[in-house]
Amino acid sequence: MDDDWERRVDEAWASYDTYGEDRDAEFRALIDALAAELPEGDPAGLFERACAFDSTGRSDRAVPLYQEALERGLSGDRKRRALIQLASSLRNVGRAEEGVALLEPELDGPAHELDDAVRAVLALCLASLGREREGLALVLGALAPHLPRYQRSMANYARALVEPGPA
Residue 167 has a pLDDT of 45
pLDDT tens figures, 85-140: 999 999 999 999 999 999 999 999 889 999 999 999 999 999 999 999 999 999 99
Q: What are the counts of helices (DSSP H) followed by strands (DSSP E) for the chain?
A: 9, 0
- Round to whole Å and give the CA distance between 164 and 149: 26
Hey, how many other C-beta atoms are within 10 angstroms of the C-beta on 46?
A: 25
- 55 CB contacts (<8 Å, ≥6 apart)? 16, 27
Q: Nearest to residue 15, comparing CAs of 3, 26, 4, 2?
A: 26
- 82 CB contacts (<8 Å, ≥6 apart)? 47, 50, 66, 69, 70, 74
For the entire predicted model, the pTM comes to: 0.90
